[in-house]
Structure 1
Amino acid sequence: MWFKHLHLYRLHGAPDLDAATLEEALGEQAFRPLGGSEPRRIGWCPPAGRAGTQLLHDLQGQRLMTALRQERILPAAVVREEVEERVDALETAEGRKLRRQEKLALKEQVYEELLPRAFVRSQKVDLWWDSRRDLIAVNSSSRKRAEEILDLLRETLGSLKVTPLASQTLPMRAMTTWLGDPGTRPADLVLGDQVELKAKGDDGVLRARQVDLDSDEIQQLLESGRQASKLALSIEGRLTFVLHDDLAVKSLRFDDALIDEASQADDGGDALLRLETDFLLMTQALAESIERLLAWLGGEASAASDAQPVLSADPA
């Protein structure tokens, strides 16, 4: 139940829903297996998997939901090869070259025929809704996938207005400053051993792992004008992570003491209780860490000042 990545969003005008109402709404958008010719489908599934049936875990204002996404994998090369074979056969049989529109129609036909036989890939994505702080976090390495889950939640609720969480100080500017001047680092910030440095021109991106970020080599790169777009950080006693320039938090690793605390909790072998115990401990640590991160970055930017788009949709 321990998240690996976070894409963070501020919720505006949060809908006033109790747990029972939200559970019912999730049920209306529950996942159903793919039909034979469907390329993809997404819906809600129990976070506990086979250990439970409820679609929502609502604990002390912390809500956990899980989306299940299925997609048929049909490689373009397979379609192209089949189309080429059929084009050759038709052109030979009819003694003429097929027109472009005929080839496109043939490609569509091949795609529809092969799709039901394609492999199906399934992916579960967890969503954490902190109703106390009006914060939503999606456990995905991909922002595109995170926003797909938000779209599902929006469809479930009928309306949802969120903006990507934003800080007063741009993460790239802050990370570059922390690297270049140790005196600017907050007292509780600890640098890790991983960084990504972008050049202002066309010199590309430099990635370094397991390095001393206070080394002369790193300082020289900063002096040449490079800026930090990713930086490994840690909060002692809580977690380590890689901060990205869009405020995404990735490669999360929770402190051993926190994991030990979770493992020592008496769940009596109950998988649901184990899930909820881990979830509460995790969200407490994450909520505190997000607040600390925002403080490092000068506080949260308002929706008006950060110029971030509001991702919203209302029922027609």
Structure 2
Amino acid sequence: MWFKHLHLYRLHGSAGIPAADLEAALAEQVARSPGGQEARRVGWCPPAGRAGTALLHELQGQRLMTMLRHERLLPAGVVREELEERGADIEAREGRKLRRQEKQELKEQIYEELLPRAFIRSQKVDLWWDTRRNLIAVNTSSRKRAEEALDLLRETLGSLKVTPLATQTLPMRAMTQWLAEEGSRPASLQLGDQVELKAKGDDGVLRARQVDLDSDEIQQLLAAGRQASRLGVEIEGRLAYVLHDDLTLKSLRFSDALIDEAGEIEDDGDAIVRLEADFMLMAQALAEEVEQLIAWLGGEANAAPQESE
């Protein structure tokens, strides 16, 4: 249940849909396998998997939903090989070279023929909705997948105005300062052991793992003008993650104390009770950390709400 990545979004306007109405709306967009000519399809599935049927779990204003994404796997190489074989047969039979347009039409025909027989890959993407803070977060490493989950939620609700969470101080500026000036670091923040440094010119990106971020080498790179675009941080007693310059939190690791606290909750072997207990503890910890992170970065920036069609 514990999230590994977090793409954060601010919800604008009113989206105060009751839980019962939301679950009914989710049921209208339940996940189904792609049709014969569909390359992919997305829908909602139970967060508890086979252990439950509920599409929504809500506890104290914290909502958990799961998008299920089906995608047919048709490698480009398979299509290319079939195209070459069929094209060669046609050219030999008709004694001429195929025109570019003919090859393109043949390629499209092959794709349509092979697609229904392609394997289907499934991927689950969890979405956390904090109704008290008007915050929505998506558990995926990919911004594209996060936006896909929001598009599905928007289609489900009919309207959804969200913008990526933004702060007054750019994360890159703050991370660079935390690296360069130990005294600028918040009291409960500790540096991790990985960093990504970008140069202002064309010197590329430098990535380092399992290094001392207070070392002279890192300080020399900062003095040369490099800036931190990713930074591993640890929040004492709670969690660790890699902060990105777009305010994404990746490689989340929750503290042993929090995991042990979850383990102390009796579930009597009930998978739903376990899921909801873990989710509540995780949501509370993440909500507090997001609020603290916003404060460290000078407060939230005002962003005009946007709504995709």
TM-score by length of 1: 0.96
Following the alignment from structure 1 to structure 2, what is the Cα–Cα distance between the partners of residues 9 and 175? 20
Deviation at residue 35 of structure 1 after TM alignment: 1.9
Deviation at residue 117 of structure 1 after TM alignment: 1.6
Partner of 2:292: 292
Following the alignment from structure 2 to structure 1, what is the Cα–Cα distance between the partners of residues 306 and 84? 42
Deviation at residue 182 of structure 1 after TM alignment: 0.6
Deviation at residue 14 of structure 1 after TM alignment: 3.0
Contact 1:14 1:134 in 2 (8 A): no
Partner of 1:307: none
Deviation at residue 25 of structure 1 after TM alignment: 0.3
Deviation at residue 114 of structure 1 after TM alignment: 1.0
Q: How does 1:29-178 map to 2 (within 5 A)?
A: 29-178=29-178
Deviation at residue 34 of structure 1 after TM alignment: 1.8
Deviation at residue 313 of structure 1 after TM alignment: 3.8
Deviation at residue 16 of structure 1 after TM alignment: 1.9
Following the alignment from structure 2 to structure 1, what is the Cα–Cα distance between the partners of residues 16 and 192? 40
Provide the secondary structure at the position in 2 that maps to 1:303.
coil
Provide the secondary structure at the position in 2 that maps to 1:196.
strand
* CA-to-aligned-CA distance 1:163-217 (integer Å, 9 cap, x gap): 0000110000000011011111111111111000011111111111111100000
Query: What one-letter code is carried by the residue in structure 1 that aligns with 2:233?
Result: L
Provide the secondary structure at the position in 1 that maps to 2:193.
strand
Task: State the 4+ residue runs in structure 1 displaced beyond 3 angstroms.
Answer: none
Following the alignment from structure 2 to structure 1, what is the Cα–Cα distance between the partners of residues 14 and 111? 42
Q: How does 1:181-220 map to 2 (within 5 A)?
A: 181-220=181-220
Following the alignment from structure 1 to structure 2, what is the Cα–Cα distance between the partners of residues 58 and 136? 14
Partner of 2:307: 312
* CA-to-aligned-CA distance 1:256-284 (integer Å, 9 cap, x gap): 00000001100111100000000000000
* CA-to-aligned-CA distance 1:87-125 (integer Å, 9 cap, x gap): 111011001111111111100010011111211110000
Following the alignment from structure 1 to structure 2, what is the Cα–Cα distance between the partners of residues 218 and 249? 22
Contact 1:6 1:137 in 2 (8 A): yes
Provide the secondary structure at the position in 2 that maps to 1:54.
coil
Deviation at residue 222 of structure 1 after TM alignment: 0.4
Partner of 1:11: 11
Task: Say how many residue pairs are matched.
Answer: 309
Following the alignment from structure 2 to structure 1, what is the Cα–Cα distance between the partners of residues 163 and 272? 32
Following the alignment from structure 1 to structure 2, what is the Cα–Cα distance between the partners of residues 146 and 164? 10
Of 11-20 and 146-155, the range deviating more from structure 2: 11-20
Deviation at residue 250 of structure 1 after TM alignment: 0.2
Partner of 1:267: 267
Q: How does 1:272-283 map to 2 (within 5 A)?
A: 272-283=272-283
Contact 1:7 1:138 in 2 (8 A): yes
Following the alignment from structure 2 to structure 1, what is the Cα–Cα distance between the partners of residues 307 and 46? 25
* CA-to-aligned-CA distance 1:65-88 (integer Å, 9 cap, x gap): 000001011111111111011111
Following the alignment from structure 1 to structure 2, what is the Cα–Cα distance between the partners of residues 235 and 86? 60
Following the alignment from structure 2 to structure 1, what is the Cα–Cα distance between the partners of residues 172 and 127? 26
Provide the secondary structure at the position in 2 that maps to 1:97.
coil
Provide the secondary structure at the position in 1 that maps to 2:68.
strand
Following the alignment from structure 2 to structure 1, what is the Cα–Cα distance between the partners of residues 39 and 7? 26
Of 32-41 and 145-154, the range deviating more from structure 2: 32-41
Of 245-254 and 8-17, the range deviating more from structure 2: 8-17
* CA-to-aligned-CA distance 1:115-136 (integer Å, 9 cap, x gap): 1121111000000000000000
Deviation at residue 37 of structure 1 after TM alignment: 2.3
Deviation at residue 38 of structure 1 after TM alignment: 1.4
Q: How does 1:211-230 map to 2 (within 5 A)?
A: 211-230=211-230
TM-score by length of 2: 0.98
Query: What one-letter code is carried by the residue in structure 1 that aligns with 2:187?
Result: A
Query: What one-letter code is carried by the residue in structure 2 that aligns with 1:23?
Result: E
Contact 1:158 1:313 in 2 (8 A): no
Structure 1's unaligned 5+ residue stretches are: 305-309
Contact 1:198 1:226 in 2 (8 A): yes
Following the alignment from structure 2 to structure 1, what is the Cα–Cα distance between the partners of residues 297 and 211? 24
Following the alignment from structure 1 to structure 2, what is the Cα–Cα distance between the partners of residues 147 and 75? 24
Query: What one-letter code is carried by the residue in structure 1 that aligns with 2:47?
Result: P
